[in-house]
Amino acid sequence: MKIDFRQEDIWDAVAARNYDTPGVGMFSPEIIEPTVNRLAELAQDGRVLEFAIGTGRIAIPLARRGISVTGIELSKPMADRLREKTDESSLPVIIGDMKNTLAPGRYSLVYLVYNTISNLLTQEDQVECFKNAARHLEVGGRFVIELWVPELRKLPPGQDAVVFRNTPGYIGLDTYNVLTQHVVSHHFKFDENNKVSLSRTPHRYIWPAELDLMAQLAGFTLESRTADWEGSVFTAESRSHVSVYCKLDG
């Protein structure tokens, strides 16, 4: 499976227009509220930076709590969509890549939510993302990553695809290349006339142990790992995790 997608092309004006699903899916209160609660707790009244801020799903409610939030976003259409909701003085956004773009000043918290670090398709770029987080953080500051656990146990021998979601009007299918740790998510959507639209998003999956090594290379130590934003215990059966890393020194 050849990965030849460009993130700039994936997150275009059409994707930005269709991204928000107010009140449901990843925009449902039961997902957003625990995320914002935990990030607000970790911020400790300091300045906060979100990598890949998107349309502001988490940053906007976090800023509404009085926390100073800045964002970095690769896709201008996604940032434009955010700008329709709040102004630059309330939530500044810098257009650029999360692995090397710099935001002004230092922060107490940098965070990446909803598997976004896997949008970087090489191990080298993922390590650079950790290093960029370290560049922005004060000593003792935290880098928080929400990431799924690769579900390779679902793949029987000889099969490289698995359905990860099947709901009315939607089928999600992942195809894996276990040699390169690449996965492409195929999103099939059916309208009221049963016409199908397809979009695809590529990722490079990361095992928790590999993520910890990336953190170590960038000067972080693992502070905590939970199965979700509410603090559930992370186990071998957990499908995702929230990992909090602490910056050791300057």
At 1 the pLDDT is 44
CA proximity to 74, closest of 137, 30, 38, 121 = 121
Residue from 149, 120, 151 nearest 133 by CA: 120
d(CA 143, CA 50): 10
Given the candidates 3.40.50.720, 3.40.50.150, 1.10.150.20, 3.40.50.10440, the CATH classification of the domain at 7-150+206-247 is: 3.40.50.150
Q: Could you tell me the two tokens for 119?
A: 């949008």
What angle, 0 to 180 degrees and rounded to 10, lies between the N-to-C axes of helices 123-136 and 208-217? 50
- Is-contact 116 137, C-beta < 8 A? no
Burial class of residue 29 (count of CB atoms within 10 Å of its CB; 0-12, 13-18, 19+): exposed
Query: Which DSSP category does 50 fall into?
Result: E
The segments of the chain whose pLDDT lies below 50 read 1-2
**Domain parsing of the chain, residue ranges:** 7-150+206-247, 152-201
pLDDT digits (tens, 9 = 90+) for 78-89: 999 999 999 999
User: Residue 62: which residues within 8 A CB-CB, separation 6 or more?
Assistant: 36, 39, 40, 43, 48, 69
Chain mean position to CA 94: 17
Q: Which two tokens stand for residue 229?
A: 């934003």
Q: Which two tokens stand for residue 198?
A: 């397809």
